[in-house]
Amino acid sequence: MLASRFAPKREDKFAFGIWGLQNRGRDPFGDQTRQETPALKCIQGLAERNAFGFEFHDNDIIPFGSSAAQRDAILTDLKKCMGDWGIKATMATTNTFYHPVFKDGAFTSTDPAIRLYATQKVLNCLDIAAELGTGVFVFWGGREGVEVDASKCPIEASKWFRESLNFLCEFVRAKKYAIKFSIEPKPNEPRGDLFLPTVGSVLAFIETLQYPEMCGINPETAHIKIAGLNPYHEFAQALDAGKLLDVHLNGQKPLRFDQDLTFGSDDLKEAFFTTKLLQDHKYQGTIGFDCHPYRTESDPWDFVDRNMRNYNIMKEKVAQFNTNKEIQGLLGEIHGANKDLVGLIAQYSPQTLDKLRNMQFNLEALAGRKLRYEYLDQLLTELLLGVL
Ligand code: GCO
Ligand code: MN
């Protein structure tokens, strides 16, 4: 039996992308292995399991090509379901990758009509987000990239994307929607190369926009590991910049196709440090999971439960780590060297410059310091394995 103390509570603020729950188990080599769980069933099931919210693409809830009347009827049902079950729509996004019109990009298509169509599709989805009270609006550029570099210049592609984003920011301001934009980086898949592959590239791009304060990032564990990078560090960079609007937690073996595994199912230390980062730095957003049940599953519910449990288990491990006397003692030693020098160059002045120039360093003593990292890592390993 699984221990009940890790069962999720509303105040844990967990949310799931419903597209992961709707997933029918198709892959490039095989057909669907289960029935699609309808959107309202996904949302109800999440609420029953104490998730705080759900995330959605326009077409996860409103089928492509629906009429205005169909849209309104669907939204009425959805709002009723949200009210009845007390669940929030925490993140909205536009599907600008599935329809063949987007085969060579949406905002970065070489055809201005396609760029305008994508921008219009986002406008419509922003109206839905506002109606549902959603505060974070994501841009995941699934088709914004190339296989053939001869086909378009990345600088021009950035210009096109910037133009749409600036226009959409103006729209949100004009409508007084309480919505922020969040760009989700990914290095590749489904395109050979995607534009804006990492947290750093998104941060730099945001600064070129007209309203950088309206835009942030939602990094995803899997996307970072597809690039062979460290999710703890990437999430930290977004948080440090004050730009972490949402997170997409999941699991992924490094440098492979996009696996979208359950959070904590593949790399416990990484899940621990991601959790530690969000807990220690009092991240205020929702804890979003963007992943898919194994193709072998018949329904999404064991998968939903264990993503949330794994986060809560890691939360307990983080608390143990932060209060473990031996670990904290060791960290105290590691960070305790030459404390009197801290802040010496915090403020530039001719006097501090002079001080720095004249300082004498005993390199042999500095280089000789003992760093018991093997032992520290073993303490963490034993803590995670439950034997410390
Ligand atoms: C992926 C992405 C997507 C996006 C989502 C939001 O599979 O690479 O994670 O799932 O997060 O589509 O637009
Ligand atoms: Mn994602």
SS3 of the chain: the string is: CCCHHHCCCHHHCEEEEHHHHHCCCCECCECCCCCCCCHHHHHHHHHHCCCCEEEEEHHHHCCCCCCHHHHHHHHHHHHHHHHHHCCEEEEEECCCCCCHHHCCCCCCCCCHHHHHHHHHHHHHHHHHHHHHCCCEEEEECCCCEECCHHHCCHHHHHHHHHHHHHHHHHHHHHHCCCCEEEEECCCCCCCCEECCCCHHHHHHHHCCCCCHHHEEECCEHHHHHHCCCCHHHHHHHHHHCCCECCCEECECCCCCCCCCECCCCCCHHHHHHHHHHHHHCCCCCCEEECCCCCCCCCCCHHHHHHHHHHHHHHHHHHHHHHHCHHHHHHHHHHCCCCHHHCCCCCCCCHHHHHHHHHCCCCHHHHHCCCCCHHHHHHHHHHHHCCCC
**What is the average per-residue pLDDT within 295-300?**
98
The pLDDT score that the predictor gives to residue 78 is: 98
What pLDDT score was predicted for residue 223? 98
Percent of the chain having pLDDT more than 70? Answer: 100
**Residue 160: predicted pLDDT:** 98
Place of tokens 């020098």: 341
**pLDDT tens-digit map of 9-35:** 999 999 999 999 999 999 999 999 999
Dist CA 44 CA 269 (whole Å): 32
Q: What is the pLDDT of residues 124-174, one digit of tens each?
A: 999 999 999 999 999 999 999 999 999 999 999 999 999 999 999 999 999
Domains delineated in the chain: 8-323 (3.20.20.150), 325-384 (no CATH)
The whole-number pLDDT of residue 180 equals 98
User: What residues are neighbours of ligand 2 (ion), with CB under 5 Å?
Assistant: 220, 248, 290
Return the active site residues. 57, 60
Task: Give the model's confidence band at 204: pLDDT under 50 very low, under 70 low, under 90 confident, else very high.
Answer: very high
pLDDT-based confidence at residue 312 (cuts at 50, 70, 90): very high
Distance 24 CA to ligand 1 centre (A): 16
Q: Mean per-residue pLDDT for 178-195?
A: 98
For ligand 1, atom 13, the nearest C-alpha belongs to: 140
Confidence class for position 248, pLDDT limits 50, 70, 90: very high
Give the integer Cα–Cα distance in Å for 65 and 324: 57
The model's confidence at residue 308, banded by pLDDT at 50, 70 and 90, is very high
Quick check: 226 and 252 in contact, CB under 8 A? Answer: yes
Question: Taking Cα atoms as reference points, which of 172, 182, 173 lies closest to residue 141?
Answer: 182
Give the pocket of ligand 1 (CB within 6 Å).
Answer: 93, 138, 140, 184, 186, 220, 248, 258, 290
- Please give the single-letter amino acid code of residue 11: E
185 CA to centre of ligand 1 in angstroms: 10
Q: What is the pLDDT of residue 10?
A: 98
Residue 184 CA: nearest ligand 1 atom is: 11
For 75-104, what is each residue's pLDDT tens digit? 999 999 999 999 999 999 999 999 999 999
Identify the pLDDT of residue 279.
98
Per-residue model confidence as pLDDT tens digits over 258-297: 999 999 999 999 999 999 999 999 999 999 999 999 999 9
Mean pLDDT computed over 311-327: 98
**Of 181, 191, 195, 220, which is best to mutate to test ligand 1, by the most ligand atoms within 8 angstroms of its C-beta?**
220
Query: For residue 93, which atom of ligand 1 is closest to its CA?
Result: 13
- Residue 74 has a pLDDT of 98
